[in-house]
């Protein structure tokens, strides 16, 4: 049998089985893909080698993840929630990143690793949190609005990190110039594409839409997404940034909902493959050998984020009950953190041994997130007896 076909069959079979188990256990499919990668990867069963070709294919998962973020990004929503987004969200990401920037050098690592890992730890799981908010019908509650506002700013912040991380990998002498050039390129790309690209994009989609061909429409979406991703990579930025901008452009057209439905199968399959490759990189022997460090990186960041978000929500006027619920929802790591870790590893900015323990702690925190959120409610109600939601 062809080796490539055999590899694809193994990945498909493992993903289907493990994701079915995850859904039966009412856990997010992301965790199923991560477990599937760990099992079939070179460090456990060894059925699939962690090859460059698989990683290149998985890069498309990141592209479509960022495209979906851009597609769901709403400027009117951002303006209406600006106080919470640029107040609460900015404070949470900035303070968590600063904590990593201070803590990692004290542990013997460089400030660059601290900046990347601090930014990664600031991220929470949009997939897990939004799913649980919807299931528990809490999107319209005060803590639900604060959670969405912080997630919105995290989505914005990851775009900045995608610009900065490749620049951080440059030599120390050229680092200031590299950071300045990366910021300039990112600003120019945003200005040109969003300021001057909306009208041509709308006109082009009208032309394609009038042909009434679903095949042509899907080809056009793929062309725009991959074309802008390639363009930003060609000027020294990341593929993911171009995909995010493509999503923002298409979101301003009348075809946003149709594009979202058409692209969903591609996004979910390729994103699942990305998470499988993340799991394949996890060396369980190394993680088990350093289990105290893994537990430390699991407990301390989660407790820090929980306390920080509760404190910040109180500063911004939320009652204690609402602040605590916001903290419990956002204390865990997220899929965007895995994207940042993958990029940091790709540009050889993060040491592999450190990435292993950080990745293990993040996966464990995401695995525990649904349980923590579920059992947090009785704790919040006990601590806040006069809570309005408990009375309701």
Write out pLDDT tens, residues 223-250: 888 888 888 777 767 777 788 888 888 8
More confident residue, 286 or 325: 325
- Cα–Cα distance, 35 to 180 (Å, whole number): 39
Task: Name the range with the highest mean pLDDT among 126-135, 321-330, 359-368.
Answer: 321-330
* Position 127 pLDDT exceeds 80: no
Banded model confidence at residue 375, pLDDT cuts 50, 70, 90: confident
| pLDDT at site 308 | 93
The mean pLDDT value for 123-149 works out to 79
The mean pLDDT value for 43-70 works out to 74
- Give the side-chain half-sphere CA count within 13 A for 334: 24
First-to-last C-alpha distance (Å) of the chain: 62
> What's the mean per-residue pLDDT of the chain?
80
Q: Name 384's Cβ contacts closer than 8 Å, sequence gap at least 6.
A: 319, 320, 321, 324, 390
- Cα–Cα distance, 392 to 377 (Å, whole number): 14
The mean pLDDT value for 16-27 works out to 82
Closest CA to 65 of 174, 149, 159: 159
pTM > 0.85: no
| pLDDT at site 215 | 85
Q: Name 155's Cβ contacts closer than 8 Å, sequence gap at least 6.
A: 69, 73, 126, 336
More confident residue, 19 or 51: 19
- With a pLDDT cut of 70, the percent of the chain lying above it is 87
* Position 74 pLDDT exceeds 70: no
* Position 216 pLDDT exceeds 80: yes
* Position 307 pLDDT exceeds 90: yes
Backbone angles phi, psi at 347, to 5 degrees: -90, 10
The mean pLDDT value for 91-117 works out to 88
Closest CA to 41 of 24, 18, 20, 64: 18
Angle at 238 between CA 232 and CA 243, to 5 degrees: 70
| pLDDT at site 138 | 79
* Position 10 pLDDT exceeds 60: yes
| pLDDT at site 311 | 93
Banded model confidence at residue 63, pLDDT cuts 50, 70, 90: confident
- Cα–Cα distance, 147 to 324 (Å, whole number): 11
Q: Is 348 left (phi over 0), alpha (psi -120 to 50) or beta?
A: left
* Position 1 pLDDT exceeds 60: no
Backbone angles phi, psi at 142, to 5 degrees: -55, -45
The mean pLDDT value for 169-180 works out to 62
| pLDDT at site 174 | 59
| pLDDT at site 51 | 62
The mean pLDDT value for 191-206 works out to 78
The residue with tokens 């190394």 is 286
Banded model confidence at residue 67, pLDDT cuts 50, 70, 90: confident
| pLDDT at site 173 | 46
The mean pLDDT value for 362-376 works out to 80
| pLDDT at site 78 | 67
């Amino acid at each position: 049998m062809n080796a490539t076909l055999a590899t694809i069959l193994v990945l498909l079979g493992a993903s289907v089985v493990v994701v079915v188990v995850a859904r039966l256990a009412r856990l997010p499919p992301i965790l199923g893909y991560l477990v599937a990668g760990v099992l079939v990867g070179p460090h456990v069963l060894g059925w699939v080698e962690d090859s460059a070709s698989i990683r290149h294919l998985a890069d498309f998962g990141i592209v479509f993840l960022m495209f979906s973020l851009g597609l769901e990004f709403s400027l009117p929503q951002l303006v209406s929630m600006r106080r919470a987004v640029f107040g609460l969200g900015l404070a949470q990401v900035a303070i968590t990143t600063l904590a990593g920037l201070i803590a990692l050098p004290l542990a013997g690592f460089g400030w660059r690793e601290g900046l990347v890992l601090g930014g990664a730890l600031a991220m929470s799981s949009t997939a897990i949190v939004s799913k649980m908010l919807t299931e528990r019908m809490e999107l319209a509650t005060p803590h639900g609005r604060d959670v969405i506002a912080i997630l919105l700013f995290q989505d914005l912040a990851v775009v900045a990190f995608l610009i900065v991380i490749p620049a951080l990998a440059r030599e120390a002498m050229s680092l200031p110039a590299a950071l300045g050039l990366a910021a300039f390129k990112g600003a120019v790309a945003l200005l040109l594409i969003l300021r001057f690209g909306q009208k041509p994009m709308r006109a082009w989609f009208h032309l394609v839409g009038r042909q009434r061909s679903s095949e042509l429409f899907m080809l056009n979406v793929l062309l725009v997404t991959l074309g802008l991703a390639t363009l930003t990579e060609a000027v020294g930025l990341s593929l993911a940034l171009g995909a995010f901008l493509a999503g923002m452009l298409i979101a301003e057209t009348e075809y946003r909902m149709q594009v979202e439905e058409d692209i969903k199968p591609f996004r979910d399959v390729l994103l699942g493959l990305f998470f499988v490759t993340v799991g394949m990189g996890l060396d369980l022997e190394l993680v088990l050998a350093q289990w105290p460090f893994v537990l430390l990186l699991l407990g301390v960041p989660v407790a820090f984020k929980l306390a920080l978000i509760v404190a910040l929500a109180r500063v911004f006027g939320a009652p204690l009950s609402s602040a605590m619920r916001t903290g419990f929802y956002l204390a865990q790591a997220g899929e965007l953190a895995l994207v940042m870790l993958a990029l940091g590893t790709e540009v050889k900015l993060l040491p592999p041994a450190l990435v292993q323990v950080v990745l293990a702690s993040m996966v464990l925190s995401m695995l525990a997130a649904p349980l923590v959120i579920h059992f947090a409610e009785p704790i919040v109600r006990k601590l806040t007896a006069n809570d309005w939601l408990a009375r309701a």
